């Protein structure tokens, strides 16, 4: 039996669908003909739902190996290439011993319509132990279309929560607003530089050099063991309570062809006012605002141990 607490944390899913996303999956839900963005969003939600069905039908391992891209990254909590890592491990004799249930609660796509994200609550149940309470958490996945136009997961990170997370309370999903010129190479370089900084966490206002200044107004903070919080001020307050400073060391950044959405991941170090440090791994979803400035819309992190 493999280590469930670590190896299923990036895989874990389930829960309720927020009406805005559910409406996209229902025939006739829109009063107008869907535009290209709505069609792309619908196809992304359909891919996530198909992923969930496959997990129930064939088990977690088969579903993830079938749905991840060849270089897709999951966190255990350190980042690994899921297909290489999971393929090298022996399969569970009972692939359905663990029941993983999920549906996307929120989703978004880049203007290029070939990169996007999904997130929502999950439930994990050990079917071999009747009466054992299920475990809850929140997943976050970034998807990209492959050469054939099929959506594949390129990054997946999940956190445990003490109870099911209610995404309806978090508000509408963050969206990119940039409509300008796309220069992917330059923006990737800019994002790597933007992440490789030491940030102060004091205060909830977005002032230069502070954690709050990196966030979108509707940013989400996902931390293991707590339910997500929404909003720049709330996220900044929680980070202020956790540490006096935070340092990100990026490993990689992937930018959408439209250069309005990107995902990064790497190592973090939070330094408390006492000087004690906690380390782990993070993933950021970056969205570009109308003025062309990149801001973090989702900040997800797992401690190293």
pLDDT by residue (tens digit) across 50-85?
999 999 999 999 999 999 999 999 999 999 999 999
Instruction: Output the pLDDT for position 10.
Output: 41
Quick one: pLDDT band at residue 36, thresholds 50, 70, 90?
very high
pLDDT digits (tens, 9 = 90+) for 267-289: 999 999 899 999 999 999 999 99
Q: What 8-state DSSP symbol labels residue 171? A: -
Average pLDDT over every residue of 169-184: 95
Q: Cα–Cα distances in Å, from 12 out to 3, 79, 273? A: 13, 15, 33
Instruction: Output the pLDDT for position 246.
Output: 96
Does the domain made of 184-303 have the CATH classification 3.10.450.50? yes
Per-residue pLDDT at 14 exceeds 60: no
Domain ranges in the chain? 4-165, 184-303
pLDDT digits (tens, 9 = 90+) for 192-212: 999 998 899 987 777 878 999
Per-residue pLDDT at 30 exceeds 70: no
Quick one: pLDDT band at residue 291, thresholds 50, 70, 90?
very high
Instruction: Output the pLDDT for position 191.
Output: 97
Does the domain made of 4-165 have the CATH classification 3.40.1360.10? no
Per-residue pLDDT at 166 exceeds 50: yes
pLDDT digits (tens, 9 = 90+) for 120-141: 999 999 999 888 899 999 999 9
Instruction: Output the pLDDT for position 205.
Output: 77
Per-residue pLDDT at 26 exceeds 90: no
Q: Which residue has the higher pLDDT, 245 or 33?
A: 245
122 within 8 A of 12, measured Cβ to Cβ: yes
How big is the chain, counted in residues? 305
Per-residue pLDDT at 265 exceeds 80: yes
Which residues neighbour 187 within 8 Å (Cβ) at sequence distance 6 or greater? 255, 259, 262, 288, 294
Percent of the chain residues past pLDDT 70, beyond the cut: 90
**Fold match flag (4-165 vs 184-303):** yes
Cα separation of the two ends of the chain: 19
Instruction: Output the pLDDT for position 32.
Output: 66
Per-residue pLDDT at 19 exceeds 60: no
Per-residue pLDDT at 20 exceeds 90: no
Task: Name the average pLDDT for the chain.
Answer: 89
> What value, to the nearest 5°, has the Cα angle with vertex 79 and ends 127 and 267?
125
Which residues neighbour 155 within 8 Å (Cβ) at sequence distance 6 or greater? 72, 73, 74, 141, 142, 254, 263, 265, 283
Instruction: Output the pLDDT for position 107.
Output: 97
Percent of the chain residues past pLDDT 90, beyond the cut: 82
H or E segment to which residue 111 belongs: none
Per-residue pLDDT at 5 exceeds 90: no
Instruction: Output the pLDDT for position 80.
Output: 98
């Amino acid at each position: 039996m493999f280590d469930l607490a670590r190896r299923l944390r990036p895989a874990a899913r389930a829960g309720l669908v927020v009406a805005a996303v559910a409406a996209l999956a229902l025939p006739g839900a829109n009063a107008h003909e869907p535009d290209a963005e709505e069609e792309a969003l619908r196809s992304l939600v359909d891919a996530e739902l198909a992923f969930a069905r496959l997990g129930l039908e064939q088990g977690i391992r088969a579903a993830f190996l079938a749905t991840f891209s060849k270089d897709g990254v999951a966190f255990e909590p350190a980042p690994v290439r899921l297909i290489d890592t999971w393929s090298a491990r022996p399969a569970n004799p009972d692939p359905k011993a663990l029941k993983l249930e999920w549906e996307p609660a929120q989703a978004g796509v880049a203007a290029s319509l070939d990169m996007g994200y999904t997130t929502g609550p999950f439930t994990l149940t050990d079917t071999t132990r009747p009466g054992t309470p299920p475990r809850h958490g929140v997943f976050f996945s970034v998807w990209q279309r492959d050469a054939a136009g099929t959506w594949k997961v390129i990054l997946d990170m999940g956190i445990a929560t003490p109870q099911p997370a209610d995404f309806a309370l978090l508000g509408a999903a963050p969206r990119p607003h940039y409509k300008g010129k796309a220069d992917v190479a330059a923006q990737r370089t800019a994002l790597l530089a933007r992440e490789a900084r030491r940030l102060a966490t004091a205060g909830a206002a977005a002032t230069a050099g502070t954690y709050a200044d990196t966030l979108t107004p509707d940013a989400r903070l996902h931390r293991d063991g707590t339910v997500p919080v929404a909003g720049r001020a709330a996220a900044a307050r929680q980070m202020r309570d956790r540490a006096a400073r935070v340092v990100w060391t990026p490993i990689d950044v992937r930018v959408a062809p439209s250069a309005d959405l990107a995902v990064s991941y790497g190592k973090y170090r939070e330094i408390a006012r006492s000087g004690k440090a906690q380390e782990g791994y993070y993933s950021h979803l970056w969205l570009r605002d109308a003025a062309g400035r990149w801001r973090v819309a989702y900040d997800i992190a797992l401690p190293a141990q």
